[in-house]
Amino acid sequence: MRAKWALLLKIQLMGLTGIGKLRKDADPAVRRRAIGGLTALAIVGLVIVFYTVLIALSYCEQGLGAVLPSFTVAVASLIVFAFSFFQGAALLFSVKDRDFVLSLPVPRRDILVARLLCSYIVNLAFVLLIAVPVTVVYFVFEGFGPAALGTVLLAVIFAPLLPLIVGAALGTLVSALTAGMRHKNLLQSILSVVLFVGALAASFSLSFSAGPSGDIDFSAMYDVLVGSIYPPAVLAQWTLTGGRVWGVFAFAGISLAAAVIFVAVEAAFYDKIVGKLMAHAAARAYRKTDIKSASVMGALIKKEFRRLFSCPGYMLNGISGSILMAIGAVVLLFVDLSAVLPADAASDAFLTGMAAGLLIFMIGISCPAASALSLEGSSRGLLFSMPVSAQKILLAKAAPTFLINGAAGLLITAVFCIKASAGALGWVLCLLTVILYAACFALAGTYFNSKFPKYDWTTETQVAKNSMPVMIVCFSAMVLGFAVMGLGFAIGYYAAAAADVLAAALIAVFLALLKKVKLYV
């Protein structure tokens, strides 16, 4: 008899990758969307490979090529842990299809195994995206050997397992502990932001740890990551350079044992955990002030803000760029730009072009509008049947992106211009860049989401992080932002001015396109 977990795993993987739509759906539009999503993923993968190779080459230049495998395991494991934790209970106890899955004649253990394996395969693909190019660089500089290949392969295969287990366990624990609280979603969102800021601060402290020559000290970075933050990675290093053959096998055994124990415990208490997660907040007596009048547009915008701040995965993926800008504004208060920048790079024209490109990039990667429509999911019929125009609904979904990015962008721009002693033209161009691109990306995200909706999601994170509209907007912001920064070197003010003119034209285009959008259930 075929294992039931294997069938569940196949269904989940086909739905996650879009292969099922490519094989079964006869609608050309659906097939194009699936192919477009896979293409976008491939482009993002190429960008990750490019930067991974650059980091690996930097390690080798400092004579640290021998530690690349364990460094790779540590970095990949920390990223897997972060994503697993932020997904929380949705990773194993999906909200949308929970009732359907629980009604199946399938043991709870098989459900857990299928979902855990699905997450493991997805994370393994990400780890391989980092590990394969690093391993190639490692063998080129350190020499190839069958024993080394076997060690690296075993370490990479088991690398995502332990952080996945720990992240899922802690995420589920936090969700269960806050399930009965009145503002549980807000508390979880705040916790996610705090952890994101902490991880960002740690990343900056590692990135700017410089050696005597002023370059980044990768040795210090390695000591912190592998020696202090993720010690299990050193077990693989012991096998490669320390002559301890048992090291990598101990690493694999610890990871596998953690998975077995986790599945056994979670399966035994599966129904109790689900019951706890489904607990509602404590009741509160009705008050007259609970009902307030508002305009249609105001009510729709308030609904979008409430949804954004009530879902940790959606909020963290949606406003990460805004968080970066807010943190950047605080950091700039304590930085002397004249001491950091070279003398020939401190001109107002140069700084304006560079700042405009950086603002475009950070605003573009913070676009909850690109997934707001998709998050309506199966309840979209209630919204679409309201006596409200499609244009008004879509503009309301774009509003939070514009307001949040605008506020964070204006804050960091004001601090930057003051610290850089910018002239009047620099102030005007940077402020225009913030306002125009906050509007441009908000409208673009909303439009692309209306053209490529993803209503059949099981967790909000799938839409907020992996959907095609999000990838289109983020990739466009990356290309455009880096292009403007590059042009800032050569033409200064004109780079920012040209970017602002382009944004104004795109805003007009997207406003015209949104007037023609029809929303169908």
The more confident residue out of 191 and 265 is 265
The more confident residue out of 426 and 18 is 426
Token digits of residue 230: 């993720």
Rounded CA-CA distance 162/150 in Å is 20
Q: How many angstroms separate the Cα of 232 from the Cα of each of 134, 206, 235, 278, 508?
A: 19, 19, 6, 35, 54
User: Residue 505's pLDDT is what?
Assistant: 95
| Neighbouring C-alpha atoms within 13 Å toward the C-beta of 385 | 5
User: Residue 512's pLDDT is what?
Assistant: 93
- Positive or negative, the CA dihedral 219, 225, 228, 234 is negative
Average pLDDT of the chain is 78
Token digits of residue 325: 């800008």
Across the range 261-273, mean pLDDT stands at 79
The more confident residue out of 521 and 57 is 57
Token digits of residue 38: 């896979």
**pLDDT tens-place string over residues 461-509:** 778 777 888 888 988 898 898 888 888 777 878 888 999 999 999 999 9
Identity of residue 223? D
What are all long-range contacts of 325-331, with beta carbons under 8 Å and residues at least 24 apart? 325/359, 325/362, 325/363, 325/366, 325/405, 325/408, 325/409, 325/411, 325/412, 326/408, 326/411, 326/412, 327/197, 327/200, 328/362, 328/412, 329/408, 329/411, 329/412, 329/414, 329/415, 329/416
Longest CA–CA separation in the chain, Å? 75
**pLDDT tens-place string over residues 344-373:** 555 667 788 888 889 999 999 899 999 999
Rounded CA-CA distance 358/286 in Å is 48
Categorise residue 59: left if φ over 0, alpha if ψ from -120 to 50, beta otherwise. alpha
Name every residue whose Cβ is closer than 8 Å to that of residue 412 and which is 6 or more positions away in sequence.
325, 326, 328, 329, 332, 359
User: Rg of the chain over CA atoms, in angstroms?
Assistant: 24
Of the listed ranges 34-48, 103-117, 251-265, 470-484, the one predicted with least confidence? 34-48
| Neighbouring C-alpha atoms within 13 Å toward the C-beta of 356 | 38
Q: How many angstroms separate the Cα of 317 from the Cα of each of 108, 191, 199, 360, 486?
A: 30, 14, 14, 17, 27
pLDDT category, 69, cuts 50, 70, 90?
A: confident
| Neighbouring C-alpha atoms within 13 Å toward the C-beta of 399 | 18
In this predicted structure, the answer to whether residue 324 has a pLDDT above a threshold of 70 is yes
Q: In which residue are the tokens 């991880």 written?
A: 199
Beta bridge partners of 210: 216
Rounded CA-CA distance 72/226 in Å is 10
The answer to pTM > 0.75 is no
User: Residue 442's pLDDT is what?
Assistant: 94
pLDDT category, 211, cuts 50, 70, 90?
A: very low
Token digits of residue 259: 């998975």
Rounded CA-CA distance 346/338 in Å is 7
The DSSP-derived string for 361-394 is HHHHT--THHHHTGGGGGGHHHHHTSSS-HHHHH
| Neighbouring C-alpha atoms within 13 Å toward the C-beta of 491 | 12
Question: Do the Cβ atoms of 394 and 297 come closer than 8 Å?
Answer: no
Name, of 191-200, 207-216, 503-512, the range with top average pLDDT. 503-512
User: Residue 418's pLDDT is what?
Assistant: 87
- State percent of the chain over pLDDT 70: 73
Rounded CA-CA distance 453/5 in Å is 29
**pLDDT tens-place string over residues 143-168:** 888 888 888 888 888 888 888 888 88
Rounded CA-CA distance 256/161 in Å is 7
User: Residue 214's pLDDT is what?
Assistant: 44
**pLDDT tens-place string over residues 39-67:** 766 777 777 788 788 888 887 887 777 88
User: Residue 278's pLDDT is what?
Assistant: 64
Rounded CA-CA distance 322/325 in Å is 5
In a 3-state reduction of DSSP, which class is residue 454?
Answer: coil
Of the listed ranges 19-23, 237-241, 265-269, 306-310, the one predicted with least confidence? 19-23
**pLDDT tens-place string over residues 395-418:** 999 999 999 999 999 999 999 888
**pLDDT tens-place string over residues 70-82:** 888 888 888 888 7
Listed residue (285, 282, 464, 436) closest to 370, CA to CA: 464
pLDDT category, 251, cuts 50, 70, 90?
A: confident
Token digits of residue 13: 């993987």
Question: Do the Cβ atoms of 507 and 432 come closer than 8 Å?
Answer: no
Alpha helices in 62-107 (DSSP H): 68-87, 98-102
The more confident residue out of 280 and 305 is 305
412 φ, ψ to 5°? Answer: -70, -30
Rounded CA-CA distance 369/387 in Å is 22
In this predicted structure, the answer to whether residue 329 has a pLDDT above a threshold of 50 is yes
